[in-house]
């Protein structure tokens, strides 16, 4: 019986597990940048860049933090996990269509002041709206020729079906092994079952296909990931110094006074917070910003205070949410600059028109 288990259970189980691992590697479509990058490309958006690196689950939270970093909204939290996180609209700001869509998903027409978004039914509705936002961005990428219109689905479907068929065969072998009291066959079948379950976990159900036109942007994002992950490592000292070209590589003006360079660099690093969220290093990057703040010259206290407020607000909000993936589910009220609750996204337009 052990021979039959090896031929009909173990061999197929590890074969489809290997194919599942290959499918995951192919789905990642990894690219590698030869140089570190210190800023996102001009004209890019956080939502689109998140999808270009397959960080769909982090896209909405990163975009919300991007609004805070750009001083378009402010995250309000007392640090308590029992209270929802407020989002305050800042006065005299201009929102892009993509940003309005995100706010509409977070505070849709059904939103009412004081409603807490922690109940499971509301979380499901919120999740559905945010997935719709991601789908719209994915369609935009397809229209720009960066991704294929349809996701790759057949490998995941095929391997999943084979895995479930394998589990059926393995269940029969377990029954026969128990009846025959054949412990070697039983142990071998359980090993095959574990491999089959691992196949279901490892194999991606589907993945977007990146076209050649997306390669340059994805390489740039990988360079940005390298900088975010290695900025505090000693080997970053051997790379190009970010204190020079970095200050003119974005739409931020280079400081006229060299004394202001550390503060300008702080602002630029602050702008990378949404990308730190995308790449899963937001805690480390917040710690880096605190270190940079501590090293700044304290001669201009007003400017310094304004610089650190956003970082402190984001850190408090993340602590209250528990983790960045829970940030969007933890938001509660949308308020204006006076603290008055707005009735959904319609209230945003009222603020701008007043």
| Percent share of the chain, pLDDT over 90 | 41
Q: How many helices (H) and strands (E) does the chain have?
A: 15, 3
Transcribe 321-352 into DSSP letters.
HSSGGGHHHHEEEEE-TTSPBP-HHHHHHHHH
Pairing mode of beta strands 85-89, 331-335:
parallel
pLDDT at 296: 64
Helix-strand-coil split of the chain, %, nearest 5: 65, 5, 30
pLDDT in tens, 203-237: 999 999 999 999 999 999 999 999 888 765 544 44
Which pLDDT belongs to residue 114?
44
d(CA 67, CA 96): 11
Q: Which of 117, 139, 63, 58 is nearest to 95 (CA)?
A: 63
Task: Give residue limits of the domains in the chain.
Answer: 2-30+153-202, 46-149+209-336
pLDDT at residue 164, rounded to an integer: 95
Burial code (b: 16+ CB inside 10 Å, e: under 16) for 81-108 equals eeebbbbbbeeeeebeebbebbbbbbbe
CA distance 242 to 265: 8
What pTM does this model have?
0.79
pLDDT digits (tens, 9 = 90+) for 235-267: 444 444 444 334 333 344 444 444 456 666 777
């Amino acid at each position: 019986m052990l021979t039959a288990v090896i031929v009909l259970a173990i061999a197929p189980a590890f074969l489809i597990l290997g194919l599942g691992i290959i499918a995951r590697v192919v789905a990642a479509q990894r690219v590698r940048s030869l140089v570190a990058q210190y800023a996102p490309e001009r004209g890019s958006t956080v939502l689109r860049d998140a999808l270009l690196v397959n960080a769909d689950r982090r896209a909405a939270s990163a975009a919300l933090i991007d609004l805070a970093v750009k001083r378009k909204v402010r995250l309000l939290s007392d640090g308590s996990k029992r209270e929802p996180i407020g989002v305050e609209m800042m006065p005299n700001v201009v929102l892009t269509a993509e940003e309005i869509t995100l706010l509409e998903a977070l505070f849709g027409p059904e939103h009412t002041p004081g409603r807490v978004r922690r109940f499971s039914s509301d979380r499901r509705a919120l999740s559905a709206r945010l997935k719709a936002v991601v789908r719209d961005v994915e369609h935009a990428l397809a229209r720009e020729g960066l991704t294929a219109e349809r996701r790759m689905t057949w490998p995941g479907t095929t391997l999943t079906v084979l895995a479930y068929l394998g589990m059926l065969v393995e269940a029969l072998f377990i029954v026969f092994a128990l009846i025959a009291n054949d412990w070697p066959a039983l142990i071998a079948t359980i090993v095959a079952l574990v491999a089959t379950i691992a196949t279901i976990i490892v194999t991606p159900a589907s993945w977007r296909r990146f076209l050649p036109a997306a390669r340059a942007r994805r390489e740039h994002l990988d360079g940005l990931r390298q900088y975010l992950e290695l900025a505090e490592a000693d080997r970053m000292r051997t790379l190009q110094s970010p204190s020079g070209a970095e200050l003119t590589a974005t739409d931020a003006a280079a400081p006229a006074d060299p004394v202001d360079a550390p503060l300008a660099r702080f602002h630029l690093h602050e702008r990378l917070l949404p990308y730190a969220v995308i790449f899963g290093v937001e805690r480390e990057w917040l710690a880096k910003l605190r270190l940079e703040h501590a090293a700044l010259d304290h001669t201009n206290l007003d400017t310094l205070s304004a610089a650190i407020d956003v970082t402190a607000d984001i850190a408090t909000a993340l602590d209250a949410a528990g983790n960045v993936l829970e940030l969007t589910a933890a938001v509660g009220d949308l308020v204006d600059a006076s603290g008055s609750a707005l009735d959904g996204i319609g209230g945003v337009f009222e603020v701008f028109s007043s």
